[in-house]
């Protein structure tokens, strides 16, 4: 770990999270401790935390308070996940009809998000600081699995437009401090692909993060141009929000010298900083 990466991961980013009211550092510590527990201990802890979560939403969230009372559901009676079958599925129509009632009493600051609307209508939902803290901590832990940390060079291929508002300037300043660089994923013209490949070669990121379709297009473009991308020091490619097809996996792996891209759950569409719940430990950097 470089001195600058250590400064970012141990000082600057924890301070950033604390100023935002996030508990990401504490959550990261818990995740990194619990990942070494036995399967039985993890299962016990998961069930205790599930009952606690159900009890909390049954008390503080109007939608679930009414639902639990109506169906006679007791959170403390839950012994296995199969017991959750007593509850109806929470589908998109139910969310749209109960947006306000799904907010917890005394919830504090919430941020509004929406899905991309690929099913025909965007889904609006809200997130609080606890959820954001867990998302940030999950990505942070995942990067450390591949010997990468906050402050190592990161290149994000994402759909967010680079806007000029004050908040966006603050985000760009933060990302600059953390050595995270954004490329717009929805501008994949040949000219821009040339620029994206050049940016990767110049920035020499330790990690890539983005849509598998975008990363595979960049890798394929570099291959067509006979450009060597194998000696840039890229340790891991995190892909999210789309299905990773075998042919995409192959071209990303071969061109960028990442043995296996790591597939990740889209924890939050529209945010490159927190979409980081890994579902498959299949990324092993070449040595």
For the segment 105-117, the average pLDDT, to the nearest whole number, is: 85
164 and 119 inside one domain: no
CB atoms within 10 A of CB 97: 10
Distance CA 221, CA 229 (A): 11
Residue 259 has pLDDT above 60, yes or no: no
For the segment 218-229, the average pLDDT, to the nearest whole number, is: 92
- Cβ–Cβ under 8 Å, residues 253 and 286: no
For the segment 253-273, the average pLDDT, to the nearest whole number, is: 54
Which residues pair with residue 155 across a beta bridge? 181, 208
Q: Which residue has the tokens 């990468």?
A: 148
20-54: pLDDT as tens digits: 999 999 999 999 999 999 999 999 999 999 999 99
158 and 270 inside one domain: yes
Residue 137 lies in a domain: no
Last residue of a domain, one of 131, 161, 189: 131
For CA atoms 252, 237, 154, 172, the dihedral sign is positive
Residue 143 lies in a domain: no
Q: What angle do CA 3, 172, 188 make, to 5 degrees?
A: 110
Question: Rounded to two decimals, what is the model's pTM?
Answer: 0.78
187-196: pLDDT as tens digits: 788 888 999 9
Distance CA 21, CA 78 (A): 32
Residue 19 lies in a domain: yes
Percent of the chain residues topping a pLDDT of 90: 57
**CATH code at 32?**
3.40.50.12780
Residue range of the domain that includes 210: 153-278
192 and 270 inside one domain: yes
Residue 286 lies in a domain: no
Residue 286 has pLDDT above 70, yes or no: no
Residue 280 has pLDDT above 70, yes or no: no
231 and 200 inside one domain: yes
Confidence of residue 274 (pLDDT cuts 50, 70, 90): very low
10 and 124 inside one domain: yes
**CATH code at 235?**
3.40.50
The structural domain count of the chain equals 2
173 and 115 inside one domain: no
116 and 203 inside one domain: no
pLDDT score recorded for residue 161: 52
Residue 283 lies in a domain: no
Token code pair at residue 103: 């907010």
pLDDT score recorded for residue 250: 87
The torsion defined by the Cα of 40, 45, 48 and 52, in degrees rounded to 10, comes to -160
Residue 141 lies in a domain: no
192 and 224 inside one domain: yes
250 and 160 inside one domain: yes
115 and 30 inside one domain: yes
The DSSP string of 77-93 is G--SGGGGGGSPP--HH
119-149: pLDDT as tens digits: 678 888 999 999 999 999 998 998 898 889 9
- Cβ–Cβ under 8 Å, residues 62 and 105: yes
């Amino acid at each position: 770990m470089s001195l600058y990466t250590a400064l970012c991961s141990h000082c600057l980013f924890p301070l950033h999270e604390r100023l935002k009211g996030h508990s990401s550092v504490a959550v990261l510590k818990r995740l990194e401790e619990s990942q070494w527990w036995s399967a039985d201990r993890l299962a016990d802890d998961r069930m205790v935390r599930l009952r606690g979560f159900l009890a909390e939403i049954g008390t503080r969230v109007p939608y679930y308070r009414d639902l639990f009372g109506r169906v006679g559901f007791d959170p403390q009676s839950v012994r296995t996940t199969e017991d959750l079958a007593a509850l109806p599925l929470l589908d998109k129509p139910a969310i749209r009809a109960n947006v306000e009632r799904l907010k917890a009493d005394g919830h504090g600051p919430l941020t509004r998000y929406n899905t991309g609307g690929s099913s025909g209508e965007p889904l609006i939902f809200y997130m609080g600081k606890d959820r954001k803290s867990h998302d940030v901590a999950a990505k942070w832990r995942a990067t450390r699995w591949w010997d990468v940390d906050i402050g190592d060079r990161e290149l994000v291929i994402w759909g967010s437009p680079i806007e000029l508002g004050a908040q966006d300037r603050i985000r760009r300043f933060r990302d600059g401090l953390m050595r995270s660089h954004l490329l717009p994923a929805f501008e994949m013209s040949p000219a821009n692909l040339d620029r994206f490949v050049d940016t990767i070669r110049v920035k020499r990121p330790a990690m890539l993060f983005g849509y598998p379709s975008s990363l595979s297009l960049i890798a394929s473009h570099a291959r067509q141009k006979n450009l060597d991308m194998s000696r840039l020091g890229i340790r891991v490619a995190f892909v999210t929000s789309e299905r990773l097809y075998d042919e995409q996996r192959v071209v990303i792996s071969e061109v960028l010298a990442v043995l296996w891209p790591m597939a990740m759950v889209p924890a939050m569409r529209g945010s490159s900083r927190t979409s980081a719940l890994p579902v498959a430990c299949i990324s092993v950097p070449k040595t």
